[in-house]
Amino acid sequence: MRTHVVDHPLVAHKLTVLRDQHTDSPTFRRLADELVTLLAYEATREVRVEPDDIVTPVAPMTGTKLASPKPLVVPILRAGLGMLDGMMRLLPTAEVGFLGMVRNEETLEAATYAERLPDDLSGRQCYVLDPMLATGGTLAAAIRFLTDRGADHITCVCLLAAPEGCDNLERALEGLEVPVTVVTAAMDERLNEKGYIVPGLGDAGDRLYGVA
Ligand code: URA
């Protein structure tokens, strides 16, 4: 697994306003959207392309277009929905699938409660959207779900990550042949005893949507 922390002054600025406890939900949603678009630029660095023969007003040339099959963008419900528009701004022709994941309080494992994805993901590049890489359990389950269906290239876009979550995710993915990259705006200090990222930004879903 590769982790890429995007180092850019605009990312740092927007993230700081996002973290501030006084930032209200409308501002939080707008900033998250802008931030995801900046992260998407880095996250799509390896998006598959193919040659495209076109004719400009001056001459024929071979350009580049996104290859088939189209990339699949997968927001993890609920908070990943707040990242969808920001991602689709750069990949408007991508398809979108949805995954709802919840932690089973008995087994402590992430379980899928909803999914709307193509049955066959063979040869598909998938972009998984989850704002907080905290314990890593949800992302690990989502990645297994997608690779079990045949996805062969996974990029996770996260606003924030915790070192413990990255370590757990790396362990959970041991032996997986599919390349996995995590792109995030920051690697924070740690997780607290409640599983929140420190300093973090609080509960991303609540801050996006204003309800628990
Ligand atoms: N999920 C959140 O929304 N925030 C955290 O800090 C950790 C997990």
Residue 212 confidence (pLDDT): 56
Give the chain's residues under pLDDT 70: 105, 108, 212
pTM over 0.90: yes
Count CB-CB contacts under 10 A for residue 205.
Answer: 18
Residue 62 alpha carbon to ligand 1 centre in Å: 45
Please give the Cα distance from 25 to 7 (Å, whole number): 25
ipTM value of the model?
0.96
Domain that holds residue 145: 2-47+68-209
The pLDDT value recorded for residue 201 is 98
Q: Residue with the nearest Cα to atom 2 of ligand 1? A: 203
Within a domain: 57: no
Residue 59 lies in a domain: no
pLDDT of residue 192: 95
Note whether 157 and 131 are within 8 A (CB): no
Ligand 1, CB within 6 Å, residue ranges: 132, 134, 195-197, 200, 203-205
Answer yes or no: is 62 within a domain: no
103 is catalytic: yes
First to last CA, the chain: 32
Q: Establish if 199 belongs to a structural domain.
A: yes
pLDDT score for 50: 97
The domain tally of the chain equals 1
Q: What is the CATH number of the domain that holds 81?
A: 3.40.50.2020
- The whole-number pLDDT of residue 102 equals 84
- Expressed in angstroms and rounded, the spacing between residue 152 Cα and the centre of ligand 1 is 28
